[in-house]
Structure 1
Amino acid sequence: MLTANLIRTKRDGGVLSEAQWRFLIEGFCSGEVADYQMSAMAMAVFFKGLTRTETADLTRCMVDSGERLPRVTDRPRVDKHSTGGLGDKVSLILAPLLACCGVDVPMISGRGLGRTGGTLDKLEAIPGYQTKITTDQSSRVLREVGCFIVGATETIAPADRRLYGLRDVTGTVESIGLITASILSKKLAASLDALVMDVKVGSAGFMPNLESASELAESLKEVGAEAGLPTIPVLTDMDQPLGRAIGNAIEVNESLDVLAGGGPKEVRDLTLRLSAEVLVETRMATDIANAEATLADALDSGGAKERFEKMVHEQGGTLSGHLPLGEQKDYVAYQDGWVQSIDCPAIGDAIITMGGGRRTVADVVDPCVGIDLHVRIGDRVERGQPLWTVYESQTKCPPIDPVVLSETEVSPRPLILE
């Protein structure tokens, strides 16, 4: 097989066999298939798509590029993954929260893709936090804490780790087949018993409408089932950021608020629902209402926050309260009205411009920059009321006006769509 021929086949809308995908993935990991060739293949897939069989084949090849995590306790192993969106810090809360409820959460996460922030970038805002640890170290943390959050290493789905970085900087993120293979390869390598998928729908995520999000949800559910991993998709609104905080350190701070029983209601509600789904799937709870009540107790009692702090400590981090942010600048409403919409692309681009995201794989993220959005769609505002706050560091925030006001009343948006 020749790599160029396989690229041509996919470019022209052809279907590759499992043997051909295995040739590409093994060659990519060994260096025989160059980054620029895999970037070209990713672009061909972006435009021509993958069949469900191709997606399953690619997923298996990416899992087989590394090792699977060992089971170290007899507790059920569960996880959650989000397709990504502005202000989505649920993973930071969900992992320690579920660990309080008798399940293990071996979470393998990623960095920012495009405008959406990455869980690893957020956690690395905590001084000393190590997202790269050995399998023996992660197994020890899982036994003692019940959860860990790490990145894909050279031994865990290494093909995905390398391809993930290329997709981020080549405009090939929004591919249903590649998203499915990327997510499930990491989750299958974690030897899970159940996975809940938060599929974001709207301008602040990768799936712009319900139709494309539903297609991704079905892909994840079917490929997961074929691989023996029960996968529960939940479609949620992402036409506005989740919560108030958008950035890295600022999202850690908001997560700490939620873990302490406070924080924005929508962040708490979504975390409870996603967590409840896997507790029911693993029979650790009888129904969603019972599961949410148990989980709410773990938040309100401070147990989840203590578990998060223990995880941070075991992974080398030092956390003593909220993290420092950049220079603060407040922006206020210029008229009375209702919040009609939020310009999410403008917010995401502003974060990247200030250094809170990446333009290239090698870019270093500035954790101190961020935006605090004080309103949500449907809120009533008055002239002079603060709408958003910018936290700047080395690079100033470009001019943005992300909050669009209406003179007539606007209805709030539902958080959970399907």
Structure 2
Amino acid sequence: MVFKIDKQTIGDLKMVGGYKGDDVFSFYNRTKTRGGANLMRDMFLYPRSSEDEIMNRVNMIKFFKEKELTFSFKKEAFDVVEDYLKNIDERTRLSAHQDNLQRKFNSAIGADSGYQQLQKGVVNTLQFILDLKSFLNSLDGNGSTAEFGKTIGTINEILNKRNFSFVTELQKISKPNYTKTAEFDQLFRFTESKEDILKLLYYVYEIDVYLALAEISMLHNFSFAEIVNDEANLIEMKGVYHPLVPNAISNNIKITEDNNMVFLTGANMAGKSTFMKTFSIAIYLCHMGFPVPAEKIRFSIQNGMFTTINLADNLNMGFSHFYAEVARVKKVAESLRNNDRMIVVFDELFRGTNVKDAYDATVAVMDAFASKRKCTFVISTHIIEAGEALKKLRDNIMFVYLPTLMNGKVPKYTYQITEGITEDRHGMVIINNEKILDILKK
């Protein structure tokens, strides 16, 4: 089952598609092959909401982490093999009668580039299969998870087929003569063995991904989230932090159905947006089965998540920022009507309108959201007065803020959430520190 997300959420959290590798995918991507990187990218685009799928992935990563295995394949072979197998032009098919004096002469003077490319494809395919055989041999007696045991079984079924009988004698790869090259080319490109080789490539790309994730887990001491199966909804994070922020400060939070709405306040630059991204990224990674940047996470499986942190105007459709906010809230509301266990994150509701309308709309919408106790909400705002109104309306709202400590006129930020509603008013302090008014007076 797919964990529901959308383009806005992926962009807000920089899960995939950041510039210059500044996204979460690039942080996790230590794969050795292009196919492995593409497979991991797909995992980022399609998180899961099935316990079996999530735990199968967790167990696979843990297995490779515990065994401390390495990717022992010749990396350069993969792209060669894939390009070779894509060439299905019948005119390139090798046959025995082509092994004549003219071909041998062309080969001698380097004029037979077509054949040389095909021979290179054959050699690299053989090298890939030999490396796979060696990797399987390295697992003997090393144990495996039930899921990986199925993968090994499928790989062995393929390698034990009659078409792959040559594997038993495969010890060292050297350039085969023309006749053997033609035989292997026929087998690899023009029989059902081609589909089998593509399956083997996919399985090795999976291994590449799991080895990369095991390495990330060990390198950064990331943990694996624990799934809670109680009927009551729970999200509990201890020592969670943003993986892309240098020297990030960690936070703890526990959300249940009794406090399923988080009302977050704090001064500018106090870290509200970073906290919301930290929380959301952790939830996202939990539903991928990936190791998470936290000391410990326990969570109930959710059906999806919508974040609204960096919402842009839609000039093509004539939307102002406020109308874009309204349209986004409507989309979220429609999703909540049909789904429980959704996570909703908003950074400053209705910032695109006047203070009075923003106050009224914030109170009304948050009051309505709070009625959905099977869902989880994290909403930040600068309209702290809305908090006092909501306290009178609902008993399931958690009020937290990010403090600012003043050292004279210089603000210092703790980046750690504290219970309550902020009373910080430091906007003018920052403006004065930057001497903006002095500049304008000159």
- TM > 0.5 fold call: no
Q: Which structure would you say has the larger Rg?
A: 2
TM-score by length of 1: 0.26
TM-score by length of 2: 0.25
